[in-house]
Amino acid sequence: MRRDDSTQIPEGPEPQYDKVVSGYQSFHHPRPFKFEWGGELPEFSLAYETWGTLSPARDNAVMLHTGLSASSHARSHSENTHPGWWEEFVGPGLAVDTDRFFVICSNLLGGCYGSTGPSSIDPRSEQPFATDFPILSVRDMVSAQLLLLDHLDIARLHASVGASLGGMQSLMLAALAPERVDRIVSISAAACSHPQSIAMRFVQRQAVMADPDWREGRYYGQSFPHRGLRVAREMGTLTYRSGPEWMERFGRARNEGPPSLAEDFQVESYLAYQGDKFCLQYDPNSYLYISKAMDLFDLQGEERDAPTLAEIECPVLVIGISSDILFPVWQQRELARLLEEQGGKVRFVELDAPYGHDSFLILREEVGEPIREHLQG
């Protein structure tokens, strides 16, 4: 990875996230869609991609849920040959085996990779929704995905699989519609969002909204709030990886030349690179809305009359990473304990790895093998 002609950043394992503008199918829901916290869309669309073959009994479907900034492109295919964000986990003979399963992955409601989100045109005003988009919840995301499954004539999933925000969705689907899923995989997620991660995401949103170019979210067709989104992503990257990995990868290595107040250490150049790259791929308002949805997630039933862990009836695989800062492993232990206390069948796997929260994108064998066993068991 190069920052510029004079800065060489040490190579390391990196997730494969790219802007996706083609190669997906689109599900259009032509009727009003009401949101959990109020407001509605007159209609919406979800971008989705599929791999494998749906069985004659239509009983081998696996719904793959994405994290905050991922598209529907989890795996390459003939319509988009670029590697997907879970390229080495989904495919023939892999953890999510497309020789056995029909895999579906959608871009989130509220996203910006083909699904309806703040950057989409509101048919009522013929202008982008911007911050007129309703406050979004994980329940809303999953409710839209259930309508997609209705469209595909899939009454019941073999499995609901996801990591991070995707792990929240996999749990929500089984709590919201327990009759529609046979098993769950939840990686690096939790039963609810805890104060530390809420605080981290709040500061990231503040960075975006403090950029003068954000203009209360109505920046479309004008200058883009690049500086704010860059800082937000730099802060996010701090929570996605871990100090031990960076010590080994960067140490205290500096760039060439005398010290400056700009990018001086190689780890600083790495963060700046990640921030700039993200600004070329993602809509800031989607970032705000989806990160807020993560904050509102709660399946412990402490605040609202809403689905809880108690509704989950199927076996659950919970995976946690020892070095995760964003969703510390004690939160996965807590999730497994809560599910067991209500009589659920749970397998908990804790992995000791240096890559932090991003481990679910990197550790093909360590993460993939428990998933393979759970899906095929």
Which residue among 357, 358, 359, 374 is the active-site one?
357
- DSSP state string for 227-261: HHHHHHHHHHHHHHS-HHHHHHHTTT-B-SSS--S
Cα torsion angle, 37, 179, 343, 357, sign = negative
**Token code pair at residue 272:** 């700046």
Angle between helix axes 195-210 and 284-296 (nearest 10 degrees) is 160
**Token code pair at residue 163:** 């990591």
> Could you count the other beta carbons within 10 Å of the beta carbon of residue 330?
12
- Close Cβ partners of 267 (under 8 Å, ≥ 6 residues apart): 246, 250
- Close Cβ partners of 171 (under 8 Å, ≥ 6 residues apart): 184, 186, 189, 191, 299, 309, 312, 316, 335
Which residue among 164, 170, 186, 323 is the active-site one?
164
Q: Does the annotation mark 125 as catalytic?
A: no
Q: Does the annotation mark 164 as catalytic?
A: yes
In terms of DSSP bridges, do strands 121-122 and 316-321 run parallel, antiparallel, or are they unpaired?
unpaired
Q: Does the annotation mark 120 as catalytic?
A: no
CA pair distance 16, 124, nearest whole angstrom: 36
* Contact by Cβ (8 Å): 98, 55: no
* Contact by Cβ (8 Å): 255, 271: no
Which residue among 97, 211, 324, 358 is the active-site one?
324
- CA 267 to chain centroid, in Å, comes to 24
Cα torsion angle, 111, 117, 119, 123, sign = positive
- Close Cβ partners of 152 (under 8 Å, ≥ 6 residues apart): 54, 61, 104
Active-site positions read: 164, 324, 357
